[in-house]
Amino acid sequence: MLLDSFLGWFSMDMGIDLGTCTTLVCVRNRGIVLNEPSVVAVRKGTNIVLNNGEAVGFVAREMLGKTPGSISAIRPLKDGVISDFEITEAMLSYFIRKVHGRGGRLVRPRVVIAVPSGITAVERRAVIDSAERAGARKVYLVDEPMAAGIGAGLPVTDPTASMIVDIGGGTTEVAIMSLADIANCESIRIGGDDMDEGIINHLKKTYNLLIGEARAEKVKIQIGSASPLEEELTMEVAGRDTISGLPRKIVITSEEIRESLKETIAAIIDTVTATLEKAEPELAADLIDNGIHICGGGSLLRGTDAVLANATGLKTFMVDDPLSAVARGTSVYLENLEQWKDTMEHSEYGWE
Ligand code: ADP
Ligand code: MG
C-alpha cells in the first residue's frame, strides 16, 4: 500500500474508456482529465499519423470529412471492432502520453481499460498489446457494462440483478449483472452512428439531398426522438442536391426523422428483450424492482427511456452524466486495484 502510494508520485495510473466515438481518461483522485474524439488523421493509404503522431483527437476530428486528398481521418474503433491495430495503438499512445506527460515521470503507468464485452479474445489481446506498446507498464481490462454499472453507482457486487443498456456510437451493450459478475450480456455493432446513417439515407431517398455525417448527427441531436414528442419540432437542413449537384436547403420534421431512426431503435429494443429472455428467473424477478439503467451518448436521444420501458414493462432510469459512466467506473477499479487485480484480465509482464 505504502509502496503503491510512493509509486503514485512517479507514475500516474489511469482508467480509459476506449469508446467508438469518444475516449475518456481518468486519473485516480483527479477524475476525468481527458475527453477527446477517438479519431486519428493519417497520410492516405498509410499508417503514418500526421504531425509526428500528434494528429489525434480534437485535432483529427476537425479534419474528418473535410480532409484534402492526401489525408484521411480514421475512427479506428468505429464499428466496435478494432479495424486497425496500428492506428489504435497510435491513438492510445497519444492519449497516454498526453495525460502522463512526456518522459516527465520515472515510472510507466498502470492502465485499466474498459472494452466492449462483445469483442473477441484476439481483439482483447490487441488492446492489451497496444496499451503496453503505448507506454503502460501493466494493463487491466474490464468489461464496459460492468464499468458502466459501477460508474453509475449500481449495486453490482450485491446478490441482486442490475441491468445496464449502454448505447454508444458504434455499439450497444446490454448486460445483467449480479455478485460482481456479468450474468447475461448481448453486444451489437449498432448505435448512434447508425441513427445518423438512417437520417442520411432518408434525406437522400425522400429529397435527393446529400448531407454529411456531422450534419446528420446535428439533426439527430436537435430534433431526433424515439417516441412521439409533446410538441413536434422542425429544422432547416442544407446539403447538396443529388440531381442538380448544387447546394440546397429544406425543412424537415421530427416525425420523419423519428421514422428514419426506427430500424436502429428496433435493433436496440430487440437486444434488450433478448437479454431479458435469457436471464435466470430470480434475476429477472429482481429487475421488476431494480429496473433498467441506460447510459451512453445514444441514450440522450429523446424518448429512448420511454420506448425501452414500453417494450419491456420495466422501469427505466437515465444514469447521471451518461457519457462518463464507464470512465468513472474505471476510476473505481483504479482505487480498488489492489483487491481486484487478480480477477481482471491483464498483461503478462510488467510489475503490479
Ligand atoms: P462511445 O462510447 O461509443 O464512444 P458515446 O457514449 O460517447 O459513444 O456516444 C456517442 C453517440 O452518442 C454518438 O452517436 C452521438 O451522436 C450520440 N449522442 C451524443 N449526444 C446525443 C444527444 N443529445 N442525442 C442523441 N444522440 C447523442
Ligand atoms: Mg461507450
* Residue 70 neighbours by CB distance under 10 Å: 9
DSSP E strand boundaries for 29-137: 31-37, 40-43, 71-74, 110-115
Ligand nearest to the CA of 265: 1
Q: Is 21 exposed, middle or buried (0-12, 13-18, 19+ CB in 10 A)?
A: buried
pTM of the complete model beyond 0.75: yes
Helices (H) and strands (E) in the chain, counts: 13, 16
Ligand 1, pocket-test mutation among 17, 173, 193, 221, most atoms within 8 A of CB: 221
Average the pLDDT over 69-84 and give the result.
Answer: 82
How far, in Å, CA of 187 to CA of 204, rounded?
Answer: 30
* 298 alpha carbon, closest ligand: 1
Q: How many CB atoms lie within 10 A of CB 351?
A: 8
The atom of ligand 1 lying closest to the CA of 295 is 6
| Three-class DSSP labels, 237-289 | EEEEECCCCCEEEEEEEHHHHHHHHHHHHHHHHHHHHHHHHHCCHHHHHHHHH
The pLDDT, as a whole number, for residue 349 is 76
Long-range residue pairs from 240-244, CB within 8 A, at least 24 positions apart, any chain: 240/209, 240/210, 240/211, 241/208, 241/209, 241/210, 242/204, 242/208, 242/209, 242/210, 243/208
Cβ(148)–Cβ(277) under 8 Å? no
215 Cβ inside 6 Å of ligand 1 = no
Query: How close is the Cα of 241 to the center of ligand 2, in Å?
Result: 35
Q: Which of 173, 220, 261 has the most ligand 1 atoms within 8 A of CB, as the residue to mutate?
A: 220
pLDDT at 192 over 60: yes
Please compute Rg for the chain using Cα positions: 21
Q: Establish how many alpha carbons lie within 13 A of residue 123's alpha carbon, considering only the half-sphere containing its beta carbon.
A: 19
Grid cell in block for residue 275: 437479454
CA of 19 from ligand 2 middle (Å) equals 5
Look up residue 237 and give its three cell numbers. Answer: 437542413
State if residue 301 touches ligand 1 by the CB under 6 angstroms criterion.
Answer: yes
Q: What is the pLDDT of residue 343?
A: 80
Please write the tens of the pLDDT for every residue from 130-166: 899 888 999 999 999 999 999 999 999 999 999 999 9
Q: What is the DSSP letter of 160?
A: S
- Residue 166: strand pairing partners: 173, 295
Joined grid coordinates for residue 306? 420511454
Q: Is the CB of 145 under 6 A from ligand 1?
A: no
Higher pLDDT: 301 or 63? It is 301
Ligand 1 neighbourhood includes 173 CB (under 6 angstroms): no
What does pLDDT average to over the chain? Answer: 91
Residue 8 confidence (pLDDT) = 55
Q: Is 184 in the pocket of ligand 1 (CB under 6 A)?
A: no
C-alpha cell recorded at residue 31: 477524475
